Amino acid sequence: AQSVSQHNHHVILSEAASLELGCNYSYGGTVNLFWYVQYPGQHLQLLLKYFSGDPLVKGIKGFEAEFIKSKFSFNLRKPSVQWSDTAEYFCAVRVRAGGSYIPTFGRGTSLIVHP
Amino acid sequence: DTAVSQTPKYLVTQMGNDKSIKCEQNLGHDTMYWYKQDSKKFLKIMFSYNNKELIINETVPNRFSPKSPDKAHLNLHINSLELGDSAVYFCASSQGLAGGHNEQFFGPGTRLTVL
């Protein structure tokens, strides 16, 4: 079965610092990759997704992620974080199993940005 | 204009009770999901319905029974609640064959506490 690892469980940054959150998955076939964000007290929202094509994906709010197939990674980056980026970030993978797509989420990374 | 709504938002109950959580989406999607997020923030899929048919049923105790009266609703009934059922339960929906390329829209979550 596929799995998703997010190595950084808690990240604390100051405003304007650069951010990189790691995400590795274990699955040898075709994957669809996602990053979701959960702001305090809110539901999960999609930040960005990758299916095919350019491995560097741009998302909302200045986030981007790079798919590196050889490393089974899909790291999330932002060059300069803001206080409002304080949230939980979840990496997710969907793989095709029979007629369905099985979504698997990482355990999340809690980001706190100090003003 | 909530896209995916869940009721109740909070649910506190005693062990052994039976409870239900309701989910409704007004996005016209044909696929709905239930996820469980435990205290360590792991988000794990429980069930998925496509056009009212069960298509994903992960390893979940049979005390949990989803019911989809129509494409816009996916309710979760839990019998004989146990302490370990305490978690946040998220409903989600998407359009297409169990997701795949399509974004999942999440509800606000239901925090279940079993005493």
* Domain ranges for chain B: 4-114
A71: helix, coil or strand? helix
Q: Which of A11, A42, A52, A100 to mutate to probe the B interface, most B CBs <10 Å?
A: A100
What is the rounded radius of gyration, in angstroms, for the C-alpha atoms of chain A?
14
Inspect the interface and report whether the beta carbons of A101 and B42 lie closer than 8 Å: no
Instruction: Look at chain A and report how many structural domains it folds into.
Output: 1
φ and ψ of B100, to 5 deg: 65, -115
Query: Does any domain span residue A115?
Result: no
Q: pLDDT at position A23, please?
A: 96
- pLDDT tens digit string along A27-71? 877 788 999 999 988 889 999 999 889 999 999 999 999 999 999
pLDDT along chain B (115 residues), means of 10: 89 97 94 90 87 81 92 95 95 74 87 96
* Candidates A51, A88, A104; nearest CB to B41: A88
Contacts of B60 (CB under 8 A, 6+ apart): B46, B47
By Cβ distance, the residue of A32, A43, A99 closest to B97 is: A99
Residues spanned by the domain of A42: 3-110
Is residue B92 a contact partner of residue B104, using CB atoms and an 8 Å limit?
A: yes
Q: Do B99 and A101 touch (CB under 8 A)?
A: yes
CATH code where residue A62 lies: 2.60.40.10
Q: How confident is the model at residue A4 (pLDDT cuts 50, 70, 90)?
A: very high
- Any idea how long chain A is? 115
Determine which helix (DSSP H) or strand (DSSP E) holds B37, and give its type and residue range.
strand B31-37
Of B44, B98, B108, the CB nearest to A43: B108
In a domain, A55, yes or no: yes
Asked if residue B113 lies in contact with residue B12, where contact means CB atoms within 8 angstroms, the answer is: yes
Cβ-defined contact of B106 to A101 (cutoff 8 Å): no
pLDDT digits (tens, 9 = 90+) for A99-115: 667 788 999 999 999 98
Q: What is the mean pLDDT of residues A69-88?
A: 96
In-domain check, residue A66: yes
Q: What is the CATH number of domain B4-114?
A: 2.60.40.10
- How close B67 gets to chain A, by Cα (Å)? 19
